[in-house]
């Protein structure tokens, strides 16, 4: 395990982060770019995309904008997934934002690195995988357990399609 990783079991922290934020989220997909993974990362992301459900934690799947095999959205506001994203800067030794003490949550058998976003959402990145998967959880889903359900359900799919390793 990396020195920056401290595991937090369960997900009450997601609820706390989401509820502590005071601003409203915008709904998700508006300004997202499509990741550009190549080689094995792209193959893993395509395998994940083929397994993504029509409903996730009770949220109906929507058409992502732009449409891609590396993105998916569910619900309004959108839970937004991007596969094949770069390593988070805060976890890159030597970067200006490197955080030696950054923590990760273990949910659904996956280690998720959380980042509070300015719009009140929490971005969770699945780390220690051969392709990184990023999931934006709008603040509206923090108090009712939906965020934890989303990460748990996606965790099972990520374990099935993206092996442990480093991108």
- Cα dihedral 142, 143, 148, 150 sign: negative
pLDDT in tens, 46-93: 999 999 999 999 999 999 888 999 999 999 999 999 999 998 877 777
Structural domain for 47, as ranges:
7-23+35-161
Kindly report whether the global pTM for this prediction surpasses the value 0.95. no
Is residue 29 domain-resident? no
Residue 127 lies in a domain: yes
Of the candidates 7, 11, 3, 14, the one whose C-alpha atom is nearest the C-alpha of residue 115 is 14
Is residue 59 one of the residues assigned to a domain?
A: yes
Indicate the number of domains in the chain.
1
Within a domain: residue 90?
yes
């Amino acid at each position: 395990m990396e020195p920056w990783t401290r595991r937090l079991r369960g997900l009450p922290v997601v609820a706390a982060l989401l509820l502590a934020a005071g601003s409203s989220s915008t709904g998700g997909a508006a300004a997202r770019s499509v990741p550009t993974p190549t080689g094995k990362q792209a193959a893993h992301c395509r395998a994940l995309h083929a397994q993504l459900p029509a409903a996730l934690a009770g949220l109906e799947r929507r058409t992502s904008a732009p449409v891609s095999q590396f993105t998916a959205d569910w619900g309004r506001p959108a839970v937004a997934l991007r596969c094949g994203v770069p390593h988070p800067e805060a976890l890159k030794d030597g970067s200006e934002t490197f955080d030696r003490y950054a923590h990760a949550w273990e949910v659904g058998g996956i280690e998720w690195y959380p980042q509070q976003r300015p719009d009140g959402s929490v971005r969770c990145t699945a780390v220690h995988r051969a392709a990184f998967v990023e999931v934006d959880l709008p603040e509206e889903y923090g108090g009712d357990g939906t965020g934890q359900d989303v990460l748990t359900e996606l965790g099972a799919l990520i374990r099935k399609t993206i092996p442990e390793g480093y991108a």
